[in-house]
Every structure is written in C-alpha cells, then in structure tokens.
Amino acid sequence: MTAKARRMSSSPRWLTTLIELRRQERTERRRQLDEAQRAADILFEKDRVLERETGQATELRRGAAVAGGFDINRLLAAQRHQAALLMEQSAIRQQLQLLEQEIQRRRAALVEAEKQVRILEKLAERKTHEARMLAELREAKRLDELASVMRKVGYPK
C-alpha cells in the first residue's frame, strides 16, 4: 500500500470515494485532450500535404504555359486543380482554428480537474492529520487516567 493510499484509508469513506471520482474525471479530461491533439496533428499533416500539392500545381501550371506551346486545356485543368487544393486547404485551416479553441477549452477543463483532485487530496490529508491528532489526544488522556489510578493505589512502591 502506498503512502497516499494509507493516508486516504484513514480519510472518511465519502471523501475517498469523491477523490476517486475526481481522478476518473481527470483521466477522462486528459483522454479528451489527447484525442483533440491527435486530431489537430492529423489536420496539420493534411495541411502540409496540401501545401506541397499546391506548390506542385503551381509548377504544373507554369509548365503548361512554357512547354513549347500554349496548351490552354492543360493550363485550365491545372488552375482548377490548384483552386480546389486552395479551397480544401482553407477549409482545413478553419477546422484547425476551431480545433485549437477546443483544445484550449479541454486544456482548461483538465487544469480544473487537476485542481479539484489536489484540493480533495489536501482535504483528505488534513482529515487524516486531524484523526491522528484526536487519536493521540485520546491515548494521552487514557494514559493520564491510568497513571492517576496507579498513583491512587500507590503503585510504585
């Protein structure tokens, strides 16, 4: 049994249960944040791929205009392709902005959950300390009473 578990074992049962619930909530908040960050990583990678493809489309368009003649169909196809890539990239960047806001919200929720766990753990420590002090006071009182009785009967002779 860990030291923290020993401290909690002398805490009131309701407090131990509440701490466990808050820890589960914290774990869930951490999982949600990780999920949002993974989604952002995927979108960042898609954005990088689209950035490369847009650059390639620009080169293709230049090539259509220079390649020994002027192929209007090839140039129009390259422009349409590049426009589609730019629209997709714009949509991904908007999603990234929304996702960044969601990540910030989830991060704040995780920080709050961490705070709640710490508060309850400190409360449990304080309750454990109080219980220990009360037990020590009761033991001291019991020993004082025992010493008093022993003096009355004239014990150390």
CB of 35 closer than 8 Å to CB of 103: no
Which of 31-35, 37-41, 63-67 shows the lowest mean pLDDT across its residues?
63-67
Q: Using CB atoms within 10 A of its CB, is residue 124 exposed (0-12), middle (13-18) or buried (19+)?
A: buried
Q: Using CB atoms within 10 A of its CB, is residue 85 exposed (0-12), middle (13-18) or buried (19+)?
A: buried
pLDDT of amino acid 64: 65
Whole-angstrom distance, CA of residue 111 vs CA of residue 107: 6
pLDDT of amino acid 113: 96
pLDDT of amino acid 77: 82
Summary mean pLDDT of the chain? 88
Whole-prediction pTM: 0.71
What does the pLDDT average to over 15-41?
A: 96
Instruction: Name the token pair of 105.
Output: 């919200």
Q: Is the pLDDT of residue 68 over 80?
A: no
Which amino acid type is present at position 60? Answer: L
Whole-angstrom distance, CA of residue 77 vs CA of residue 61: 9
Model confidence at 20, in pLDDT bands (50, 70, 90)? very high
Which of 14-23, 76-85, 91-100, 137-146 shows the lowest mean pLDDT across its residues?
76-85
Helices (H), ranges, the chain: 3-9, 13-66, 72-152
pLDDT of amino acid 2: 60
Q: What is the CA radius of gyration of the chain?
A: 34
